[in-house]
Amino acid sequence: MIKCSAVLAFCVVGSATAAEAAGAISVDNVVIAGAEARPAVIIDVTEFRDGTTNAPRLLPGPKHYSLSIVTRDPVSAFESQLSQTATTKHFTIGTESGRTYLGCLLAGLSSEGTGGGFRYIYALRCADVT
């Protein structure tokens, strides 16, 4: 079951799978109406040569998960993290692709556009993805 508030532009869902089924973005199981996710995964790779050949050897390192949430309206859960005195909160983000990002911290806020095309871009760094 999904309950929506047109005034506040959000929906509360029973689980992240409901948000995924609706093709929406959720923050801690609250659907963010009209939002889109822009994921990025960076894997550190170390290149070295062992001296026996000129061919490089590659070793995979840690994975770094980043996610940007783009929306026309401010997201109160993220806005509350902008204050210097805010208590740090880790978020769980469900995306329209069905991926769930875990242990996410707000890493920044930027914007794009003007007037009716203005959008907030919340940058998050996450511990894991499923």
For residue 119, the enclosing domain spans: 35-47+54-129
Is 28 among the domain residues? no
Is 103 among the domain residues? yes
pLDDT digits (tens, 9 = 90+) for 79-89: 999 999 999 99
pLDDT at 14 over 60: no
pLDDT at 12 over 90: no
Position 53 scores a pLDDT of 86
Is 71 among the domain residues? yes
- What does the mean pLDDT of the chain come to? 86
* Ordered DSSP codes for 42-65: EEEEEEE--SS-SS-EEEEEEEEE
